[in-house]
Amino acid sequence: MGRYLVTGGAGYVGSHVALALQERGDHVVVLDDLRQGHRAAVQPGMELVVADLADRRRVEEVFASWRFDGVLHFAALSLVGESMREPLRYIAENVGNSLWLAEAAVRAGVRRFVLSSTAALFGMPTRIPIDEAEKVGPVSAYGESKLMVERGLEWADQVLGLRSAALRYFNAAGADPGGRLGEDHNPETHLIPNTINAALGLGPALTVFGTDYDTPDGTAIRDYVHVTDLADAHLRVLDRLKDGPSCRYNVGSGTGASVMEVIAAVERATGRPVPHVLGPRRAGDPPVLVASNAALRRDTGWVPQLGALDSIVGTACAWRMKNPGGYGDVAAAA
């Protein structure tokens, strides 16, 4: 049994990782400013510290209050479009807060650090599926900020002995199969929840951006990984850092689904049509983005258990149909 600090642990991916840690018997301390996270996503038995990572004194107090076996870092600004309107804010906050957190961890004697990174590092990839040898070249300030954090962590390993793992997600999706956690962003920018919202009448009709790609149905293809499988990947790399070197992994299902396939899956799960309109391509959208997860499988034994599109969409739909108001419904029922 260990004790772990999970920053951003009241958010979407962070809360699922915190739950996975708790379910295997670890003690979890969540640090979240609740700007995008939800108090109701923090499970009973976890400690919640409401604080901003930029508050250095408060962060130091957290490390002084508990002895941690590792840090899992999810707290960050994460909207690609917003990052292109406010690039300096994204770089200043994401890079500064992350590396300050790593420095505080080192001073407290913590030697394991897991970073929530992103496939946005790769920009416009040259080959599919995308493996770890693909050249990085972010085309957004958000992607650049994560790359800068990864580089900072490499120096922290080389000079200070902080072993780190960076997991470069493709598209996290789905919800806890037990119904305890789900996806609730404001604004919501992800395809699957927006498709579900359109079907349930909780949001506007979906816009399909581009129908003339060189794909079987003309719509863009993306790799979706179930958030519970993603949580399992975090635990596996965390444990690998006990005796292994720092590492960087791409995390996806290894298969792709088109926008029209997502729409069809939501219609199957909800039993309702998805109102949608066809629009032009968005600038910079590649036709296909699919991960190679071969390195993660080889090194950790990770295998997606909920990788089928219907499993991903089904759990997401079940949570949203039970909680049409998101975590506001969860809090009201508590």
* pLDDT per position as a tens digit, 293-309: 999 999 999 999 999 99
**Domain check: are 265 and 276 in the same one?**
yes
What residue type is assigned to position 264 of the chain? Answer: A
Residues 306, 237 contacting (CB under 8 angstroms): no
In a domain, 157, yes or no: yes
Domain count, the chain: 2
Peptide bond into 187 cis (omega under 30): yes
Looking at residue 284, its pLDDT comes to: 80
**Domain check: are 50 and 196 in the same one?**
no
Looking at residue 86, its pLDDT comes to: 97
Q: Which of 22-26, 233-237, 324-328 has the lowest mean pLDDT?
A: 324-328
Integer Rg of the chain from CA: 19
**Domain check: are 233 and 259 in the same one?**
no
In a domain, 43, yes or no: yes
CATH at residue 122: 3.40.50.720
**Domain check: are 55 and 98 in the same one?**
yes
**Tokens at residue 330, please?**
């969860």
Task: Note the pLDDT tens digit of each residue in 83-134.
Answer: 999 999 999 999 999 999 999 999 999 999 999 999 999 988 899 999 999 9
Find the domain containing 328 and state its range: 191-222+255-290+306-333
> Residue 133, CB half-sphere, CA atoms under 13 Å: how many?
5
**Domain check: are 233 and 215 in the same one?**
no
pLDDT at 180 over 90: yes
**Domain check: are 196 and 137 in the same one?**
no
3-state SS, residue 291: strand
What residue type is assigned to position 129 of the chain? Answer: P
Contacts of 92 (CB under 8 A, 6+ apart): none
Distance CA 82, CA 86 (A): 6
Other beta carbons within 10 angstroms of residue 103's beta carbon come to 16
Instruction: Enumerate the active-site residues.
Output: 142
In a domain, 89, yes or no: yes
**Tokens at residue 10, please?**
């009241």
**Domain check: are 86 and 196 in the same one?**
no
In a domain, 179, yes or no: no
Could you tell me the pTM of the whole model? 0.97
Over residues 232-241, the mean pLDDT reads 98
Looking at residue 282, its pLDDT comes to: 87
In a domain, 182, yes or no: no
pLDDT at 15 over 90: yes
Report percent pLDDT > 70 for the chain. 99
Looking at residue 273, its pLDDT comes to: 98
In a domain, 77, yes or no: yes
**Domain check: are 198 and 322 in the same one?**
yes
Distance CA 312, CA 173 (A): 6
Task: Note the pLDDT tens digit of each residue in 94-105.
Answer: 999 999 999 999
**Domain check: are 259 and 120 in the same one?**
no
Looking at residue 201, its pLDDT comes to: 97
**Domain check: are 93 and 27 in the same one?**
yes
In a domain, 273, yes or no: yes
**Domain check: are 117 and 164 in the same one?**
yes
Looking at residue 124, its pLDDT comes to: 84
Over residues 194-212, the mean pLDDT reads 97
Over residues 279-297, the mean pLDDT reads 93
Mean pLDDT of the chain: 96
Residues 71, 110 contacting (CB under 8 angstroms): yes
**Domain check: are 71 and 202 in the same one?**
no
pLDDT at 289 over 70: yes
Looking at residue 334, its pLDDT comes to: 62
Distance CA 148, CA 74 (A): 15
Task: Note the pLDDT tens digit of each residue in 136-152.
Answer: 999 999 999 999 999 99
